Structure 1
């Protein structure tokens, strides 16, 4: 709230009689009370106090808010006792935090310092139980509003991907360019919003075949990340890279469905409770563009097979079925399971249908591989 609003709150709370020339409050039978400082920030109210108020001063200056600023929420908590603050005034409880636990924690911390949190939208007088009921209702409403915002934000990000626009840093064989056909994003309180971008092939034409080669090494040769890194590093002219090939970069590219021409959102959960960590979401929770929206390095079927090989390698599985898949890829064929009875499975291999025991014995797998390699 602005300064006039804060003064009105103090008038209501302290039976204001007069203001002295310095802006202090002269209350009946009380000493002059003054506003010691103004603390506010503009980072998300869903963040904990220690992660708020960290924006550069230039950002706050650009907002041109007519209220002075002596720091953010964490600064208030750190300096409340040193500044001999007795009361903290805010417009309402969700201005402290959208998360109910965070606002309660802040209030509890201030209370231990003998600092009372006062909210302008709460009535004065009455019983303590009534005051507490109003406060908790307000904090619950803030938490619900937080959930609604997350739902709406996630929905917007899903539509962003479905429409073919890129999230994050572009993968190795691509670059991100502004989508001239996208609607104008307009402005918000921080200025003009970032334009929507789409993926196009990188200016270095060697990157597409390089990415295709490393995917093939996993899909057909069943090579592990370290082995692929050695092959790529041995041919810097054929497989260019700004810094160096690493196992994480190779594994990340192989796992990235954007190489199949689709935009995909929600592959990872960034908010895990531990700073700097993320986890993979189940593929059922990924949001895909319904059709390819940029040039593909590999087909979707090739990408899926690469993920199967990766899972098998991580599980120490060099199963006969994977060897059959690899042999089929080398011949430009596909092996697709049509049905299974538990003891036997029916596969479509190219134009032929084969029935094999499950699991496939090594001898049967080798016979299928030799049969495909003899096919012209």
Structure 2
């Protein structure tokens, strides 16, 4: 409406008369009736536009809530065509589609979720593992054949592991293109099917946990090898695997003459300490000796820890791998009392928390 009025005012200032299709052409006399008729026409037109958009959106949401697929199937799935439920459209040859697993490619998705959830591997590391065996892990094909690179990319791996369709549900309205680039919308705006519509490749509980902690790995590379920076002179045994009670990843530092004492430090930015959602009792800097963690892990390995088994199609992981490689086994009992540089009893200091399926 605003754009129409702006154009109308510009034409009036230029001396150009404007008439609607059902207005009488009058260049003299009163204009009130003409303006009223014109505004009614504009309002009805705007109503029709918004009504058509709302009906279209409602139809798409109903289509998704009933479990029908929209667009190209994700990697690991094939389309299964089904006769259209509307007899009139079915007589014209129209169909609807659901998803069904694609044997070997579905196993690739399972393996990727296994690496990400149980071993906490980053997207880049998963990409390298997939590209190392292209026959076992065939790369996805893009929409345009000319864009095919014949290899996995980090963006493709990220999009797949963040795609909720692998949980067995149909999901729509995940991305927005209104800003000029495709960005993720808030999950509360996603449209989900009322119930699972196809076989899941990633359990729903596993996807929810991976999505919730998707940024926890940011800024930390995989592996314990030395960084490529020229000033790097040492590595840390538990690099990237120790978290403070405030949920921040602790970084390794060395202190003492010649750097003989290794600590893991939590040093949050001063602007964040005490803000809502953080820990106001958090000290400015928290140091914990590496021996404290190693003693606790050794104690757990000697005495064993209770870990619920998880049904999965992938090979099981040894208890050592669960403790040392799975970052969800966080040493979460770090206190803020300032006494963390002394080694408490291992049974009180350390606790492993391996994320499993809800019972």
Q: What is the TM-score when the length of structure 1 is the normalising length?
A: 0.53
TM-superposed CA distance for 1:220, in Å, is 2.0
**Which runs of no fewer than 5 residues in structure 1 stay unpaired?**
1-99, 334-357
Are residues 1:138 and 2:41 paired?
A: yes
Q: Distance in 2 between matches of 1:105 and 1:194?
A: 44
Is 1:196 paired with 2:96? yes
d(CA) in 1 for partners of 2:348, 2:196: 34
Does structure 1 retain, via aligned residues, the 8 Å contact 2:171–2:190?
Answer: yes
Q: Which residue of 1 aligns with 2:138?
A: 240
1:264 counterpart = 2:171 = yes
1:173–1:211: 8 Å Cα contact kept in structure 2?
yes
Contact 2:83/2:94 (8 A) holds in 1? no
Alpha-carbon offset, residue 106 of structure 1: 6.1
Q: Does 1:160 align with 2:56?
A: no
Contact 1:257 1:264 in 2 (8 A): yes
Unaligned regions of 5+ residues in structure 2, if any? 142-149, 221-239, 250-304, 312-330, 336-345
Match of 1:369 in 2: 352
Q: Which residue does the alignment assign to 2:127?
A: 229
Contact 1:185/1:195 (<8 A) preserved: no
1: distance between equivalents of 2:209 and 2:307?
10
Q: Does residue 1:214 correspond to 2:112, yes or no?
A: yes
1:175 alignment partner, SS class: strand
Q: Distance in 2 between matches of 1:220 and 1:365?
A: 25
1:53-92 CA-partner distances (Å, limit 9, x unpaired): xxxxxxxxxxxxxxxxxxxxxxxxxxxxxxxxxxxxxxxx
Q: Judging by fraction of residues, say which structure has more helix.
A: 1
- Structure 1 residues 171, 129: CA separation in 2 closer, same or farther (over 3 Å shift)? same
Counterpart residue number, 1:169: 72
Equivalence map 1:101-140=2 (5 Å): 101=2, 103-104=4-5, 117-125=18-26, 127-140=30-43
CA-CA distance at 1:330 after TM superposition: 8.7
Instruction: Report the 3-state secondary structure (helix = DSSP H, G, I; strand = E; otherwise coil) of the residue aligned with 1:177.
Output: strand
| Contact 2:67/2:194 (<8 A) preserved | no
**1:35-184 paired onto structure 2 within 5 Å:** 100-101=1-2, 103-104=4-5, 117-125=18-26, 127-180=30-83, 182-184=85-87
Contact 1:185 1:194 (C-alpha < 8 Å) held by counterparts:
no
CA contact (8 A) 1:184 1:195 kept: no
- 1:118-148 per-residue CA deviation (whole Å, 9 max, x = no partner) reads 4222344453344233323322332232222
CA RMSD of aligned residues (A): 4.0
Partner of residue 217 from structure 2, selected from 309, 313, 316? 313
Determine if the alignment matches structure 1 residue 298 to structure 2 residue 202: yes
SS of the equivalent of 2:216 reads helix
- Higher strand proportion: 1
- Count residues in correspondence: 239
CA distance in 1, matches of 2:207, 2:23: 57
Q: Aligned partners of 2:40, 2:160: CA distance in 1, in Å?
A: 48
